[in-house]
Amino acid sequence: MSVDFSSIGKTSSYINQQEAAASAKKNNNALDQADFLKLLTTQLTNQDPSSPVDNNQMVSTMSQLSIVDNLTTITNGMDNIVNSISSSSALSASSLVGRSVLVDSSTAFFDGNSPLMAQIDAGSGASDVKVTITDNVGSIISSFSASNIDGVTDFSWDGVKDAETGEMYPAGKYTVVVSAMQGGKEVNLPVKTYGTVGSVVLGNTVSDTKLNILGYGEVSLDNVGSISL
């Protein structure tokens, strides 16, 4: 006598629900290899003896089935590889804690001690360049001028409020605004700033992984331009 141990402790209604759910799940999916083989076997069993299935047609059908099955296997394998790479990249982001990263934002956090670092993109060139630093309420607290700059240029603001006393501006968020002349018109040049990574929120993918920039907030890992010490 055989006993179905899988049904022990389960009510008949629970078993029926599980079987119905499994059947519904299968019905929602495309035909798999077993389904194709079952259909082919049924066709061969019920074929007309006076007009059997052509051998070439059968070989062609089996070949197509094999190709579909191989493609499914390859697709599943590629999905696993992509997921593994994404997970590895997300995990590697944990090593960024304490590092300085370039963020696509003209606003950065000044800690009251270390210089605020930024990157200015002048493209093919710009003239009459003016750099202004504004505080969190938009007031201009410092300004600098340059005759011409070309391409990507690094900029740093020391945060000194009084050179004689060495007094620094308080810690907080500051914005770097760069205006210049390009093609006979006054424009604002793109600015990116650096921030220090305080912690990392790991995700399943690179886009899901978040970097917590000290004094600034969360930034998606895929929005980070470059990394420095």
Q: In the prediction, which pLDDT does 142 show? A: 93
Same domain, residue pair 105 and 176:
yes
The pLDDT confidence band at residue 77, using thresholds 50, 70 and 90, is: low
Same domain, residue pair 111 and 86:
no
Q: In the prediction, which pLDDT does 6 show? A: 47
Q: In the prediction, which pLDDT does 214 show? A: 87
Q: Which domain holds residue 209?
A: 96-228
Residue 11 has pLDDT above 60, yes or no: no
Q: In the prediction, which pLDDT does 9 show? A: 45
Residues 172 and 109 sit within 8 Å (Cβ to Cβ): yes
Total domains, the chain? 2
Same domain, residue pair 105 and 39:
no
Residue 46 has pLDDT above 80, yes or no: no
Question: Which of 117-121, 166-170, 198-202 bottoms out in mean pLDDT, i.e. has the lowest?
Answer: 198-202
Q: In the prediction, which pLDDT does 226 show? A: 74
Q: What mean pLDDT do residues 197-221 have?
A: 80
Structure tokens at 191: 């600015």
Structure tokens at 20: 């119905």
Same domain, residue pair 130 and 213:
yes
Q: In the prediction, which pLDDT does 156 show? A: 93
Residue 127 has pLDDT above 80, yes or no: yes
Same domain, residue pair 100 and 157:
yes
Structure tokens at 42: 């049924």
CA distance 117 to 146: 17
Task: Write out pLDDT tens, residues 90-122.
Answer: 556 667 788 888 998 999 999 999 999 999 999
**In Å, how far from its chain's centre is CA 143?**
36
Q: Is residue 1 part of a domain?
A: no
Q: What mean pLDDT do residues 168-179 have?
A: 95
Same domain, residue pair 191 and 115:
yes
List the CATH number of the domain containing 170.
2.60.40.4070
Same domain, residue pair 22 and 111:
no
Q: Is residue 153 part of a domain?
A: yes
Which of residues 76, 92, 108 is at a domain's end?
92
Residue 5 has pLDDT above 60, yes or no: no
CA distance 19 to 47: 33
Which of residues 57, 73, 92 is at a domain's end?
92
CA distance 211 to 218: 5
Whose tokens are 């194709």? That residue is: 36
What single-letter amino acid sits at 42?
T
Which of residues 70, 92, 114 is at a domain's end?
92
User: Which residues, listed in sequence order, are joined to residue 211 by a DSSP beta bridge?
Assistant: 200, 219
Q: In the prediction, which pLDDT does 3 show? A: 44
